[in-house]
Amino acid sequence: MTYCVGLFLEEGLVFLSDTRTNAGVDHISTFSKMQVEEVAGDRVLTILSAGNLAITQAVWSRLQEGVWLNGERHTLRNVPNLFHAAQLVGQAVRDVYAADNPALAQQGIGFDCSLLLGGQISGAPHRLFLIYATGNFIEATADTPFLQIGEIKYGKPILDRGVTFATLLPDAIKLVLISMDGTLRSNLTVGLPVDLLLYRRDTLHVALRRRIAEDDPYLLMVRANWSRALREAYQAMPRPDWPLA
Amino acid sequence: MTYCVGLFLEEGLVFLSDTRTNAGVDHISTFSKMQVEEVAGDRVLTILSAGNLAITQAVWSRLQEGVWLNGERHTLRNVPNLFHAAQLVGQAVRDVYAADNPALAQQGIGFDCSLLLGGQISGAPHRLFLIYATGNFIEATADTPFLQIGEIKYGKPILDRGVTFATLLPDAIKLVLISMDGTLRSNLTVGLPVDLLLYRRDTLHVALRRRIAEDDPYLLMVRANWSRALREAYQAMPRPDWPLA
């Protein structure tokens, strides 16, 4: 499995993805699930992917080669805005479905694929989308400023409680790392290292792209600090005064 | 769906279950998922259930009526220890499967049922089991002192971090309420009120059984306190010193 999260914030966008893929518990590998298309001054587009690796890699390869949409061949380097980029990714997903699903279905394998796409293109606002295996998509808004794919449940409560559209980028980094760390701890199919990318609105270049490994001092600090804070928080909470028999 | 959790602690056992059942989003009802068999001075047995309500209610009804096992009819009121109780519950599950699964399967409905069973019977230790839809079961141990059924993922990170075999009962109440509250917040199919039961080892009577509703002052305190503690904890954490472009 996989855990990927994207935040859509007033200040910009934050992406975090793990790198574990597994086909059974004895076939585990490390693959980045983050792809970035950056043309400084013009566009930054980030894609995170979850699902069957053969499918998500095929989607990315097709996007690199160019995808036919409305009679023309497009890549992420020439779409005019994020909505068109999401359509293009959706079309790539549908093309892979058309090419590969008959063979997958014959062997009883589902078409498992979901993607986060976020970024900004010159002259248009920054946006964040979740693209389904069916090629259609939803968009994050100020009301719901985060989207997740893969093993989303473990890390959702902290995002539900912590993330708002006004969350500042440095706090956002902490929140996605906490969300990821809880998931890593509770689910073996999500694994380190993780890939982090920060984009600041209207800058049109990547602010930070960083691979965070097991021995990363900041990750270790977040982990230790958070575990201690949780322990202290519940211990400090008053006990119920319910009478015990 | 459902969320139920049971803790197996040196001091005793803690059980918490929600009460929401749903067949589609427009058919939502409140049903307790906690059943208790108490004979003070002799035994306390608690069962929490998740899955198809018709199946779990049928399991409980059969347990009340008596289940044939090894040529004799048994109920939870006459089994000699928790292992036999778990076998009895497993047999009840298998009996319901034999009676109902052909009709369910004809209409493409899975046999969805899992149960937690914990307690103590005079002369034997306190124990906690998770019984699967197949009627076999696993047992909590000092290494893994909690078991969950239903929507288990949202509330697992806090238990992974907080619960040990040595956790004291008052702290355990806080931890299961925090685990439940995160789940309630992130998943609509888990709903208030919740049912809490506390059992202290070797007492052979229920220490506390309490229905906790939306307006329960202690639940409201836990909720507010925890949200504030999480917010303060991540805000107090140092920011990364990674250089931003």
CATH of residue B75: 3.60.20.10
Residues of chain A with Cβ-Cβ distance to B176 below 8 Å are none
pLDDT of residue A61 exceeding 80:
yes
The stretches of A66-163 forming alpha helices (DSSP H) are 82-106, 156-162
The per-residue pLDDT for A186 is 87
Type of residue found at A68: W
| Mean pLDDT, residues B124-148 taken together | 97
Contacts of A174 in chain B (CB under 8 A): 234, 237, 239
Boundaries of domain holding B30: 3-234
Of A186, A236, A242, the CB nearest to B160: A186
Residues of chain B numbered 115-144 and touching chain A (CB < 8 Å): none
Chain B partners within 8 Å of A222 (Cβ) = 237
| Residue A143 covered by a domain | yes
- Cross-chain residue pair A186–B153, CB shorter than 8 Å: yes
Cβ of B34: how many Cβ atoms within 10 Å? 21
Give the pLDDT of residue A207.
97
Q: What is the mean pLDDT of residues A202-223?
A: 96
Whether residue B83 lies inside any domain: the answer is yes
B75-121 pLDDT tens trace = 999 999 999 999 999 999 999 999 999 999 999 999 999 999 999 99
Split at pLDDT 50, 70, 90, the class of B23 is confident
Cβ within 8 Å, pair A170-B218: no
* Cα angle B53, B56, B60; round to 5: 130
pLDDT of residue A26: 76
Q: Indicate whether A50 pLDDT > 90.
A: yes
The answer to the question of residue B242 being in a domain is no
Would you state the structure tokens that stand for residue A69, as one six-digit string?
Answer: 């949409």
Interface of A with B in 45-64 (CB under 8 A): none
Distance from CA of B183 to the nearest CA of A (A): 7
| CA atoms within 13 Å, Cβ hemisphere of B80 | 0
Q: Is residue B21 predicted with pLDDT exceeding 90?
A: no
DSSP, collapsed to helix, strand or coil, labels residue A207 as strand
Residue A242, in any domain of the structure: no
The three-state DSSP-derived secondary structure of chain B is CCEEEEEEECCEEEEEECCEEECCCCCEEECCCEEEEEECCCEEEEEEEEECHHHHHHHHHHHHHCEEECCEEECCCCCCCHHHHHHHHHHHHHHHHHHHHHHHHHCCCCCCEEEEEEEEECCCCCEEEEECCCCCEEECCCCCCEEEEECCCCCHHHHHHHCCCCCCHHHHHHHHHHHHHHHHHHCCCCCCCEEEEEEECCCCCEEEEEEECCCCHHHHHHHHHHHHHHHHHHHHCCCCCCCCC
Q: A47 by DSSP, 3-state: which?
A: strand
Decide if A241 is inside a domain.
no
Nearest beta carbon to residue B210 from set A183, A200, A242 = A242
Nearest to B16 by CA among B38, B40, B28, B33: B33
Give domain status of residue A240, yes or no: no
Q: Is A151 part of a structural domain of the chain? A: yes
Spatial distance between the Cα atoms of B197 and B215, rounded to a whole number of angstroms: 19
pLDDT of residue B67: 97
Domain count, chain A: 1
Cβ within 8 Å, pair A161-B238: no
Contact B223, B185 (CB under 8 A): no
In this structure, is residue B241 part of a structural domain? no
Q: Does A208 touch chain B (CB under 8 A)?
A: yes
Interface of A with B in 161-200 (CB under 8 A): 161-162, 170-171, 173-175, 178, 182-183, 185-187, 198, 200
Residue of chain B with shortest Cα separation from A198 = B244
pTM (2 d.p.): 0.91
Considering only the beta carbons, identify the residue of A162, A185, A198 that sits closest to B231: A162
Residue type at A56 in one-letter notation: T
